[in-house]
Amino acid sequence: MKSASRIMLPALATLLLSVAFSNTSLATRNLARADEASRPAAPPLPEPAPRPPLHPRIDALIEARLNGVTVAPQSDDAEFLRRVYLDLAGRIPTAMEAREFLADSTPDKRERLVDGLLSGPEYPRRMRELFHAMLLERRGDNDEWTVFLRNAFEQNLPWHLIARAILKPDENDEQLRGAAFFMTQRLVSEGAMAPVDVPGLTRDVARLLAGIDLECAQCHNHLTISHYLQRDFQGLHMIFENVKTRNDLKFPAVSEGVLSEKKEFKSVFEQVAMKTGPLIPGGEEVSIPTFEKGQEYLVEPDRKARMPGVPKFSPLEELSERLASPQNDLFTRNIVNRLWWVMMGRGLVEPLDLHHADNPPSHPELLDLLASEFAASSFNIRWLVRELTLSKTYQRTTRLLYTSAAEQPHESYAIGLEKRLSPEQLFWSLITATGDLERHRQRLAKEGKASLNSEAVVEQTPDLKSLKRAMIDTFANPPKEPEVDFAPSVKGALFLMHEDQILRLLKPQTGNLIERATSQSDDDTVRELCLCVLTREPADDELATLTDYLKQNADRRDEAIANLTWALLTSTEFVVNH
Amino acid sequence: MRQSVCSAAEHGISRRRVLGTLAGTGAGLGLGALGGLVQPAVGEELKQKERQVVLLWLDGGMSQLESWDPKPNTRFGGPFRSIETLIPGVQISELMPNTAKLMDRLAIVRTMKTEDPNHSSGVPKILRGHPKNRGVVYPYFGSAVAKLMGPTSSGLPPYLWVKPGSGGFISKYAGFLGAKYGALALGDGQPPENMLPPETLSERNALERRDLQKLFNQRYAATHRREWNEANSYVYDVADKLMQHSKLFDESLLPDRDHERYGRHDFGRHTLLARNLVEAGVRFVQVTSYGWDSHGDNFNAHASRVPKVDQAFSALVSDLDDRGMLDNVLVVMMAEFGRTPRINGSVGRDHWPNAWSLAMAGCGIKAGQVVGKTLDDGTDVATEPYDIGHMFHTWYQALGVDSQKTEFMNGTQPLPIAHDEMEPVAELLA
Amino acid sequence: MTVATPDTDQAAVEPREIQKIEPTQQVCRIRFSPDGKLLVGGGYDAKIHRWDLSGEEPVELPTITGHRGWVQCVEFGPQDGPLFSADSWGQLAARRVEGQGNGNPMVELLWSNEAAHDGWIHDVSISADGTRIATVGRDRFARVWSAGDGSRLFELPQQEHDLSRVALHPDGKSLVTGNLFGTLRHWELATGKLIRELTLEKLHFYDRIQDVPGIFVLEFDKSGETLYCGGGEPARIQNHQGIPTLHQIAWPSFEVTKTQHFGEEKDGFVFDFARHPDGYFLLVTSGNPGAGQFLLAQPDADEAFFKYPKLSNCHSVSLHPDGTKAIVSATNRNSQGNGAVRGKDGGYVGNSSPLHIFDLAAKAKA
């Protein structure tokens, strides 16, 4: 939701001035870099030195703006457990994991759980799914892109290096070259009547990596945001106008042409011609080096091999170095705001892609702190996620127990905020709850495929693989629509009500939830279902009502249990991260 | 879908209370109620609330010269003749003979003058009523009406969109109102996927599931912000409603005569479905016909297309009239613009926002008249031009929504529902 | 499909554009008078435009009025027969017209029928002996008229679809109609019986409630042995794309014996067609924004041997009776454009049909 009502501050220009600028000669720098490009990829970076804890400072800054309002209490163990599993492992906990945690009485159990999840195998998958949806916005998928994201999050690659891999893809780096898919998938033609949407790529780079939406600035200075200038758009756009998808390689890759002149553009309002060179969001204009005719290339194009050539001057290189830089405030603020939104349910700046002076953050000091600390941590995503998770702000309950906290506006963070489950979170949670993930893991183990990770289990189980695809199709937003708001759909409801792939999960099968439930007493059945699906014990009156339901339908117990399970799996409590 | 689609849920209107013991828990087993969206209403308020809209959208732009504003025997007039209508002195294209006989129930505006000659930006501008730029994404007409008026007492989803091709829920049409007010698109008039329960799911089990689900949801909603549960429950309620009305989607149940009158082509079938949907109580139905962008072969294109539209449009208006519904149903037929007077080398006409026409009927619109006049050769308006904003004001007024006083709330930001420098066209309101 | 053999004659003709007439209006169809001294064009403005070609430079003569809709068809009878014209409001008329002569161009209305059809007359065909005229129209009727007094001689029962084109067989006994759906029907005039039917499915296209006709040309050769049916295979509505196509149909078998495609989807449709006494075809095409060609092709070839792509949206071609010249009606450049295009004087700008005159002289021998 974009709102013009929160428009109030000074300019992008102040940001522009604060950015450091390298004086090194462009030509020589690029020559040196091209040599490096042929070398094999560098080994993964060591974890940066530990930083002092950030979470107490986060809480202090949040509380400083509460003006004495009593905040909501911390979540209870069950609520916390479910939330932290969803956020860090991308699924709800199993009954066994829940029992173990709830029974643990040591005081540091939450911190230990967080550390366990962050170093576990599911955290990189969860981050990959999250960043895939955020960066590609459901435009499609690609194996090389998956490899890139997997490597990035398994190695906890610093964010600026992830961004640089996207902005200046290196076809020689097998681990990260798939990052080019970010660009190539946006440079696909959608038919004769729809030319390749290069402006869309420009806009997405600015939105997703710098937090600014330059859409309206394509043709004129933004009408209501005085700091989004047409020059900002055109200067960035000329970099991508110079980019082509390579068709001589079997994996996603891009090439650049020779860029030797500034770009001329006109406002549709004033029709006065202006010029700009490549312009980095949050940075300055890049000067264009001149080369003698015939001297523009490091590697000459080879038409026969369809090899496009490597120009000495690479605007993408300039962009990747100067945008994905600790000195670039837009870059740093964008990512910490997005990670904050992921964990807390609301960005410090909202909408996420409208950072500008007239749309200030709800907690400016906090955004500054997160940005500077994140940069100082060498853009360590896992570290920042850990700090956010350990904060009291993150761990507050979403229950409306105290009216004073509940009446505070969302941006106060006086109370926990609910979050939308991604289609992937919904899928993993569903098959965790119904026991199908575990059931198939054990089946495969019996077939000699021991200790498979969850993804491999799904990959090797046709039913689950097809269910995953169907659920992403059903619950994802249409392509190009960011998955930000909770948007349940009739399509989704009908899918859960009637789709055979869902209804099948409600039949007793060796090792699944329904089978387990049918063999227990009514009381235990209800407890088991509640724990497996909602990660909590039933309340007393709930227990009474539900056991009564089972009792009355004792002659059709399997059906009653299936009905109960369906209702739990489709309940708001299940489909929301609270 | 050609088979009969009678479903279990149709019989669900007389729901039994399946969870006897729940009686005392306060878990009212909703009889298909729609959360807080439907208020019982009486008298005038009810009448106003039951006002409905059918929007026939001719995507790409129908030529005003081959329809509402013919200029026969002039340089740019094209090959077709004009014909007399029921209203003396009012002539329309010979391609619309049936509509000509209904002119006493229609109003034509011939001086639409809008801004945008491009489809990609023009379509949303017209469908949003082109309000002033306030840095927010305004809802489409259907979403706006869904928000302002809610579902009718039928409880059916307020904004249905019958279109060729695929269906789905189009949340982006809702703009800042939020996904919930988007359009439920029925691709080729077909019901949404998975609408019919599989045979393996008995009616009893289906009802029990929904009742148990409500039980859990009410418990959750009691201690959490209401919006989340409202949104999640709403889509199930809509699904229920659609299932109850699943016969609407079975074309084989309709008399042959209806098919003949509306036409067996897509636009006829979809307009016939629209009639049934408003009759069933859908607040706003949009029917889209694509492919009107006749840059080439404009005249054969209109010779083929306009009579089909004439057929379906006239059948709709006369059916609504015969059923006594025209007093409460607003019918609008328009596109994002008209087509250029000048005829290009491909014997086509290009995009023309400068002086185009649209037509409307019902819901208190003053019928039997033409508003505005274009120059003799059709190359500009000759009388006061109207923007789409004027039309939105007029239509809201006809629907009983005071367009100059009512505001949307976008968070804490109040926003006018129609362009705040424009007003309703008095001539159009009876 | 036969493979084109290199033909020495084929390259022997090399048309040169020698003159251009710039009318201010758009025309549907142009035709030379039988003596070649006069050119007429049926206009979008309900007028018949005339140019005297007897001198060095074409001289525009006063237009002939009397029609109301588009003058879709202008055809001269054989020898020094009259000019027949038909419009989109259903009017069919016969006039005797002559050129400048002694400086006083003559026009004499012989007869006129304002209600020959209800609405758009799509095509007329004149019998080889010049005594009868066949017409078809949007009203789905085919009719035959006396050339002498305009009386109706024959009418087919109303058809189920629009009739696009009509051709009278040179033997005077048969009539062929072509409809919106690409169906050709052979009717016996004496009895009104349907004799044979042939559907060229590709000469029709349906997309999003729009039927697109593909038959633009229907003509017999002089002998009556071959029927030419052309136009295009429509591929896209909106920009009206199609593949320009000409079928040759053997009259005895009523089967297609040769199909020629003159380009790709963007090239559009064969709008008009003429046969040179030397055997080759003259064709004009109009396609997707601005595309249009003047083509010469041998009947047995798969490719045109002469392509003139410099024109824009060509709609009609007429061959001078002596075979030395052809004239092509095209469209001014940049005829397309959204919104209001204003001229220098601020007025609204329309389009026109420039007429390009080609010399069909043989190529100079190397």
- pLDDT band, very low/low/confident/very high, at A195 (cuts 50, 70, 90): low
Q: Is the pLDDT of residue A17 over 90?
A: no
> For residue A478, what is the nearest residue in chain B, using CA coordinates?
B170
Distance CA A256, CA A297 (A): 11
- To the nearest whole percent, how much of chain B has pLDDT over 70? 89
| Pick from A19, A18, A16, A31: nearest CA to A289 | A31
Q: Is C25 close to B75, i.e. CB distance below 8 A? A: yes
> Helix, strand, or coil here: B247?
helix
Q: What is the pLDDT along chain C (366 residues), one digit of tens a residue?
A: 444 444 545 557 889 999 999 988 999 999 999 999 999 999 999 999 999 998 889 999 999 999 999 999 999 999 888 999 999 999 999 999 987 766 678 899 999 999 999 999 999 999 999 999 999 999 999 999 999 999 999 999 999 999 999 999 999 999 999 999 999 999 999 999 999 999 999 999 999 999 999 999 999 999 999 999 999 999 989 888 999 999 999 999 999 999 999 998 889 999 999 999 999 999 999 998 788 999 999 999 999 999 998 999 999 999 999 999 999 999 998 888 877 778 888 889 899 999 999 999 877 554
Residues B192-208 have a mean pLDDT of 93
| Pick from B363, B312, B337, B419: nearest CA to B122 | B337
| Closest CA–CA distance from residue B291 to any residue of chain C (Å) | 6
Q: Beta B407-410 vs B351-352: how paired, if at all?
A: unpaired
Is the previous residue joined to A50 through a cis bond, with omega within 30 degrees of 0?
no
Does B187 touch chain C if contact means CB atoms closer than 8 Å? Answer: no
Q: Is the pLDDT of residue A503 over 70?
A: yes
Chains in contact with A, where contact means 3 or more Cβ–Cβ distances below 8 Å, are B
Q: pLDDT averaged over chain A?
A: 88
CB contacts of C239 in chain B (<8 Å) are 295-296, 346, 348
CB contacts of A418 in chain B (<8 Å) are 224-225, 228
In the stretch 300-329 of chain B, residues with CB closer than 8 A to chain C read 300-301, 303-305, 308
Pick the residue of B62, B290, B346 with the most C CBs within 10 A to test the interface with C by mutation.
Answer: B346
Backbone angles phi, psi at C204, to 5 degrees: -155, 155
- pLDDT band, very low/low/confident/very high, at A190 (cuts 50, 70, 90): low
Q: Which residues on adjacent β-strands are paired with residue C93?
A: C85, C112
CB contacts of C88 in chain B (<8 Å) are 79-80
The shortest CB-CB distance from B293 to any of C238, C313, C315 is to C238
Q: Is C339 close to B81, i.e. CB distance below 8 A? A: no
> For residue B269, what is the nearest residue in chain C, using CA coordinates?
C209
Structural contact between residues B211 and A562, judged by C-beta atoms closer than 8 angstroms = no
The CATH number for C12-336+347-359, chosen from 3.60.15.10, 2.30.30.90, 2.130.10.10, 3.40.50.300, is: 2.130.10.10
- pLDDT band, very low/low/confident/very high, at A21 (cuts 50, 70, 90): very low
Q: Per residue in B71-85, pLDDT tens?
A: 999 999 999 999 999
Dump the DSSP string for A79-121.
Answer: HHHHHHHHHHHSSPPPHHHHHHHHH---TTHHHHHHHHHHHSS
Q: Is the pLDDT of residue A33 over 50?
A: no
- A121-130, A403-412, B234-243, B255-264: segment of lowest average pLDDT: A403-412
In the stretch 401-460 of chain A, residues with CB closer than 8 A to chain B read 401, 406, 418
Residues B334-351 have a mean pLDDT of 96
Q: Is the pLDDT of residue A194 over 60?
A: no
Instruction: Please list, in sequence order, all residues whose beta carbon lies within 8 angstroms of the beta carbon of residue B299, skipping any fewer than 6 positions away.
Output: B66, B78, B79, B80, B347
Instruction: Please list, in sequence order, all residues whose beta carbon lies within 8 angstroms of the beta carbon of residue A351, skipping any fewer than 6 positions away.
Output: A1, A2, A3, A213, A484
Instruction: Please list, in sequence order, all residues whose beta carbon lies within 8 angstroms of the beta carbon of residue C316, skipping any fewer than 6 positions away.
Output: C27, C28, C29, C30, C41, C271, C272, C284, C328, C329
> Helix, strand, or coil here: A269?
coil
Does A478 touch chain B if contact means CB atoms closer than 8 Å? Answer: yes
Q: What is the pLDDT of residue A189?
A: 75
Does A572 touch chain B if contact means CB atoms closer than 8 Å? Answer: yes
Q: Is B235 close to A575, i.e. CB distance below 8 A? A: no
Q: What is the pLDDT of residue A19?
A: 31
- Reported residue count of chain B is 430
The shortest CB-CB distance from A487 to any of B133, B179, B239 is to B179
Structural contact between residues A55 and A343, judged by C-beta atoms closer than 8 angstroms = no
> Helix, strand, or coil here: C169?
coil
Q: In one letter, which amino acid is A304?
A: K
Backbone angles phi, psi at B371, to 5 degrees: -100, 125
- A218-232, A344-358, B50-64: segment of lowest average pLDDT: A218-232
- A145-154, A261-270, A377-386: segment of lowest average pLDDT: A261-270
Q: Is B220 close to A494, i.e. CB distance below 8 A? A: no
| Closest CA–CA distance from residue C239 to any residue of chain B (Å) | 5
CA distances from A38 to A33, A42, B65, B106 (A): 9, 11, 65, 73
Distance CA C113, CA B290 (A): 39
Residues A151-178 have a mean pLDDT of 97
| Pick from A178, A200, A95: nearest CA to A131 | A178
- A196-200, B113-117, B370-374, C3-7: segment of lowest average pLDDT: C3-7
In the stretch 197-256 of chain B, residues with CB closer than 8 A to chain A read 197-198, 200-201, 205-206, 208-213, 215-217, 219-221, 223-225, 228-229, 231-236, 238-239, 242
Q: How remote is the C-alpha of B124 from its chain's centroid?
A: 14
Q: Is A3 close to B135, i.e. CB distance below 8 A? A: yes
Q: What is the pLDDT of residue C23?
A: 85
Distance CA A490, CA B182 (A): 11
CB contacts of A563 in chain B (<8 Å) are 205, 208-209, 212
Q: In one letter, which amino acid is C261?
A: H
Q: Is C336 close to B295, i.e. CB distance below 8 A? A: yes
Q: What is the pLDDT of residue A270?
A: 64
CB contacts of C315 in chain B (<8 Å) are 347
Q: How many CB pairs under 8 A join B and C?
A: 145
Q: Per residue in B209-265, pLDDT tens?
A: 999 999 999 999 999 988 889 889 988 988 998 899 989 988 889 999 999 999 999
Does B346 touch chain C if contact means CB atoms closer than 8 Å? Answer: yes
Q: Beta C92-97 vs C204-207: how paired, if at all?
A: unpaired
| Closest CA–CA distance from residue B245 to any residue of chain A (Å) | 15
- pLDDT band, very low/low/confident/very high, at A222 (cuts 50, 70, 90): low
Structural contact between residues B246 and B10, judged by C-beta atoms closer than 8 angstroms = yes
In the stretch 514-543 of chain A, residues with CB closer than 8 A to chain B read 539, 541-542
Q: Per residue in A70-107, pLDDT tens?
A: 889 999 999 999 999 999 999 999 999 999 999 999 99
Q: Is the pLDDT of residue A433 over 90?
A: yes
Q: Is the pLDDT of residue B12 over 60?
A: no
Positive or negative: CA dihedral B109, B113, B119, B121: negative
Structural contact between residues A198 and A240, judged by C-beta atoms closer than 8 angstroms = yes
| Closest CA–CA distance from residue C34 to any residue of chain B (Å) | 28
Assigned CATH for B44-193+247-428: 3.40.720.10
| Pick from B133, B150, B123: nearest CA to B34 | B150
Does B119 touch chain A if contact means CB atoms closer than 8 Å? Answer: no
Does B343 touch chain C if contact means CB atoms closer than 8 Å? Answer: yes
Q: What is the pLDDT of residue A404?
A: 67
Q: Is A495 close to B228, i.e. CB distance below 8 A? A: no
The DSSP H or E segment spanning A543 is helix A540-552
| Closest CA–CA distance from residue A160 to any residue of chain B (Å) | 31
End-to-end CA distance of chain C: 33
Q: Per residue in A306-364, pLDDT tens?
A: 889 999 999 999 999 999 999 999 999 999 999 999 999 999 998 899 898 888 999 99
Q: Is C238 close to B94, i.e. CB distance below 8 A? A: no
Distance CA A187, CA C46 (A): 50
Does A545 touch chain B if contact means CB atoms closer than 8 Å? Answer: yes
Distance CA C63, CA A227 (A): 62
CA angle C262, C267, C272 (to 5 degrees): 65
Q: Per residue in A274-301, pLDDT tens?
A: 899 999 998 889 999 999 988 999 999 9
Distance CA C124, CA C328 (A): 20
Instruction: Please list, in sequence order, all residues whose beta carbon lies within 8 angstroms of the beta carbon of residue A399, skipping any fewer than 6 positions away.
Output: A72, A79, B223, B224
CB contacts of A549 in chain B (<8 Å) are 19, 21, 212
DSSP annotation of B103 reads G
> For residue A1, what is the nearest residue in chain B, using CA coordinates?
B176
Structural contact between residues B418 and B129, judged by C-beta atoms closer than 8 angstroms = yes
Backbone angles phi, psi at A177, to 5 degrees: -60, -25
Q: Is the pLDDT of residue A150 over 80?
A: yes
Residues A241-250 have a mean pLDDT of 93
Q: Is C286 close to B344, i.e. CB distance below 8 A? A: no
CA angle C120, C126, C130 (to 5 degrees): 140
End-to-end CA distance of chain A: 21
ipTM: 0.94
- A34-38, A305-309, B140-144: segment of lowest average pLDDT: A34-38
Residues B294-321 have a mean pLDDT of 97
CA angle B312, B315, B316 (to 5 degrees): 85
> Helix, strand, or coil here: C150?
coil
- pLDDT band, very low/low/confident/very high, at B118 (cuts 50, 70, 90): confident
- To the nearest whole percent, how much of chain B has pLDDT over 90? 70
Does B26 touch chain A if contact means CB atoms closer than 8 Å? Answer: no
Q: Is B304 close to C212, i.e. CB distance below 8 A? A: yes
Q: What is the pLDDT of residue C6?
A: 46
CB contacts of C335 in chain B (<8 Å) are 342, 344-345
CB contacts of B308 in chain C (<8 Å) are 209
CA dihedral B405, B406, B408, B414 (to 10 degrees): 20
> For residue C311, what is the nearest residue in chain B, using CA coordinates?
B345
Distance CA B232, CA B229 (A): 5
| Closest CA–CA distance from residue B246 to any residue of chain A (Å) | 13
Distance CA C361, CA C349 (A): 37
